[in-house]
Chains A and B, each alone.
Chain A
């Protein structure tokens, strides 16, 4: 029970850095979510051709040299931008922070596909002669790359690794950071998730083969979770990294606190490669709520995971109805309707987009939900327009992924 935790076991968010297809800071992202601004646009990728995607346009050279951008990976550039922005927003006296006490835990859906595809494309021109295979391939494709490049860029000598957790990775990164802080392994955790997925044709092609790649003549209307006309996923890139620290440390330095991570859970469906399992998703939410020491009726906003697929959205809705059946007040929303599915970054980004509601009392909407699918019916789904005038104390954030990986985090207003 979190209420029983001493201050040095309470974990708070004190910094947020992000890049999303519709904003390169929390304030820009939040403004887009409140103003109904989509980040989905036409996109063309090798072999697949014309498709749609959520594309980020952040200033890559704000924190990296051009040479570092060239040498590293897109995932790492997204991570480096997000991590530096998070530190900046935290008010930490960064030059004097003991870098050996900083941990970097970055959630990823996948890593290495982009570089591998690029190299194969490159050596095809040389009749697949591996003499033309780049010496950069291994450092770019090792699974820790995005986290490792962050440590090199920022001089962090504490632990770093990525957490491969499919599309539950953003939450998983946050959970890992909280656990390491509670164990006393680090004093600051830079954690969350990143995604470079739009740079690999394979993810588009695979969703297309699965019948799960979204299309709409108007790109801004393509991502439509819970809508009857939904036809799949819009792939997006993005990143969102948080600064987590123990509450007593944050209080001592007078940090601005975005919220307290009071509950979390991860579990596994143990059923199928791609189809989710509502019973396990519900169980995951219930476990997180229990850890937070509250009842479902105390949750004010649920940031849903729904990606716009026919089966997945209906199954999450079923799980949500089960958990919140006695809670007439909880608001549901969905950030993927704006930006598409940012894969490893999705959970972290979608949570960030809701945290300002503690201060402004506004629950952002789900856009493109013009004709709600009865199978996805949820009471108080906030659609089209934001809902204001709320008192938001708890936000619950769902993030689920392939192979039946489920993650839930609950943030409390402080």
Chain B
């Protein structure tokens, strides 16, 4: 998967988790929490969805990497580059 594929996947997951938010204006470098109504349970949803869709395991100590779209994609790219987008 490319970085664009990963971003698209995260956006798809976010559209389920934050259905009331407008994701079209989401800024990659700004923290999700500053732009969306997300709490800790929502971040666990992102972790769970990645696990379900791609079997990607994100250890708890790495959760801070899921701060923004930019940091999330940077963190996931080496872990997902060999996967096919579903």
Provide a sorted-by-A list of 11 A–B residue pairs whose CB atoms are within 8 angstroms: A65-B20, A66-B19, A67-B17, A67-B18, A67-B20, A67-B37, A126-B52, A132-B48, A135-B41, A135-B48, A136-B41
Whether A252 is near chain B, meaning CB under 8 Å from some CB there, is no
Contacts of A136 in B (CB 8 A): 41
Q: In the bound complex, do residue B44 and residue A132 qualify as a contact, i.e. CB atoms below 8 Å apart?
A: no
> How far apart sit A65 and B18, CA to CA, in the bound complex (Å)?
10
Q: How many A residues face the partner with a CB closer than 8 A?
A: 11
Whether A157 is near chain B, meaning CB under 8 Å from some CB there, is no
Over the window 59-75 of chain B, the binary record of Cβ atoms lying under 8 Å from chain A Cβ atoms (1 yes, 0 no) is 00000000000000000
Whether B33 is near chain A, meaning CB under 8 Å from some CB there, is no
Q: How many B residues face the partner with a CB closer than 8 A?
A: 12
Chain A's closest residue to B52 (CB) is: A132
Contacts of A131 in B (CB 8 A): 51
Which of A65, A67, A71, A131 has the most CB atoms of chain B within a 10 A radius of its CB? A67
Whether B22 is near chain A, meaning CB under 8 Å from some CB there, is no
Over the window 59-71 of chain A, the binary record of Cβ atoms lying under 8 Å from chain B Cβ atoms (1 yes, 0 no) is 0000001110011
Q: In the bound complex, do residue B48 and residue A134 qualify as a contact, i.e. CB atoms below 8 Å apart?
A: yes
Chain A's closest residue to B38 (CB) is: A67
Over the window 106-137 of chain A, the binary record of Cβ atoms lying under 8 Å from chain B Cβ atoms (1 yes, 0 no) is 00000000000000000000100001101110
Interface of A is mostly: helix
> How far apart sit A413 and B18, CA to CA, in the bound complex (Å)?
47
Contacts of B45 in A (CB 8 A): 135
Whether B16 is near chain A, meaning CB under 8 Å from some CB there, is yes
Q: In the bound complex, do residue B48 and residue A70 qualify as a contact, i.e. CB atoms below 8 Å apart?
A: no
Over the window 9-26 of chain B, the binary record of Cβ atoms lying under 8 Å from chain A Cβ atoms (1 yes, 0 no) is 000000011111000000
CB distance from B42 to the nearest CB of A (A): 8
> How far apart sit A132 and B17, CA to CA, in the bound complex (Å)?
17
CB distance from B47 to the nearest CB of A (A): 9
CB distance from B19 to the nearest CB of A (A): 4
> How far apart sit A159 and B44, CA to CA, in the bound complex (Å)?
29
Contacts of A67 in B (CB 8 A): 17-20, 37
Q: In the bound complex, do residue A135 and residue B44 qualify as a contact, i.e. CB atoms below 8 Å apart?
A: yes
Chain B's closest residue to A70 (CB) is: B19
Chain A's closest residue to B40 (CB) is: A135
Contacts of A65 in B (CB 8 A): 19-20
Contacts of B17 in A (CB 8 A): 67, 70
4 A-B pairs with the lowest CB-CB distances in the bound complex, closest first:
A66-B19, A65-B20, A135-B44, A66-B20
Q: In the bound complex, do residue A132 and residue B18 qualify as a contact, i.e. CB atoms below 8 Å apart?
A: no
Contacts of B18 in A (CB 8 A): 67
B51 in complex: contacting residue of A70, A71, A132, CB < 8 Å: A132
Q: In the bound complex, do residue B44 and residue A70 qualify as a contact, i.e. CB atoms below 8 Å apart?
A: no
Contacts of A134 in B (CB 8 A): 48
Q: In the bound complex, do residue A71 and residue B52 qualify as a contact, i.e. CB atoms below 8 Å apart?
A: no
> How far apart sit A136 and B19, CA to CA, in the bound complex (Å)?
17
> How far apart sit A70 and B18, CA to CA, in the bound complex (Å)?
9
> How far apart sit A134 and B52, CA to CA, in the bound complex (Å)?
11
CB distance from B46 to the nearest CB of A (A): 11
> How far apart sit A134 and B16, CA to CA, in the bound complex (Å)?
15
Contacts of B51 in A (CB 8 A): 131-132
CB distance from A138 to the nearest CB of B (A): 11
> How far apart sit A70 and B14, CA to CA, in the bound complex (Å)?
13
